[in-house]
Amino acid sequence: MKQAPQVAAIHDLSGFGRCSMGIVLPVLSAMGNRCSTLLTAYLSAHTAYPPSDRSVFLDLTDRMEPVWSHWEELGARFDAIYSGFLGSVEQIDLLRTFVTRFRGAHTLVLVDPVMGDHGRPYATYTSEMCARMGSLAAEADLITPNLTEAALLLGEPYEAAPTTQAAAAQWLRRLSMDGKRSVVITGLCLTPGQVGAGSLDRTTGAISFAQAPEVPGHFPGTGDLFSSVLLGELLRGRSLETACARAVSFVQCCAAYTLQLDTPLLDGVEFEPLLRQLME
């Protein structure tokens, strides 16, 4: 019998509000994977909630290397390494070292270059972190920026974000570093009333687009949901194009379901009752 694929999941844990590890773990587990978690930070709540002087941000930078040194002793091997929200600029170089140590011949390295959304960096992301994120993304086999992050990686203004397939294809090619890595850009609006993702698959050079009806309202954590489903599908052996289409469709389904419930947008999408859709 085949063992469950093993994923090194490197994200923060936000105690309140759905995002990052609180999404990555249940989604990848439901899809039949085993996750080893390396925490970048622990927050009382994700940063989209209004700022508060009671908020807790536990930066775990100096605990990361000791954690993976224990993993090395235990002989850990990973089918995928998947990073997201970072707690400090120093974590960028630390994670580059992690990738060098743990990448095997068949390891898929997915870097979600989490930095911001809607044209603005997240509250805890400094300009130095944004400027240096490209060096971590350069280690990846696949990156999954949203439009804000794609613009930051390319040094383009957010206002220049593509609105046509031809313009999106150009950004995908540029982000692929001449086809050296695969890219998925999320949050693309190429048809009125639709939203989705564009992908460039480095193994075939194919560029494709997946769209679904736009759900009014911006929910935090949908990028984490998208990338986790995408990775789960890739680990099942699906092509990037198929994985991308399934991730677009699942995120849309969760957003539409949540809108009906009329819950606070900042609480994110109600994916939990829909997880079983990912099991087949």
Q: For residue 181, what is the DSSP state?
A: S
Q: Which two tokens stand for residue 155?
A: 């040094």
Q: Which two tokens stand for residue 115?
A: 């930095």
d(CA 23, CA 247): 14
| Interface pattern 109-148 for ligand PXL (x via CB under 6 A) | -----x-------x--------------------------
Under rule CB under 6 A, residue 31 binds ligand PXL: no
Say if residues 110 and 231 touch (Cβ distance below 8 Å): yes
Under rule CB under 6 A, residue 269 binds ligand PXL: no
Q: Which two tokens stand for residue 11?
A: 């994200």
Exactly one of 8, 9, 10, 19 binds ligand PXL (CB under 6 A); that residue is 19
Place of tokens 């994670």: 95
Nearest approach in angstroms of CB 89 to ligand PXL is: 16
Nearest to 114 by CA among 44, 37, 191, 24: 24
Stretch that binds ligand PXL, among 44-52, 62-70, 147-155, 168-176 (CB under 6 A): 44-52
Closer residue to ligand PXL (CB): 83 or 208: 83
Stretch that binds ligand PXL, among 43-51, 126-134, 197-205, 256-264 (CB under 6 A): 43-51
Give the three-state DSSP class for 14: strand
Binding residues for ligand PXL (CB under 6 A)? 12, 14, 19-20, 43, 46-48, 85, 114, 122, 220-221, 223-224
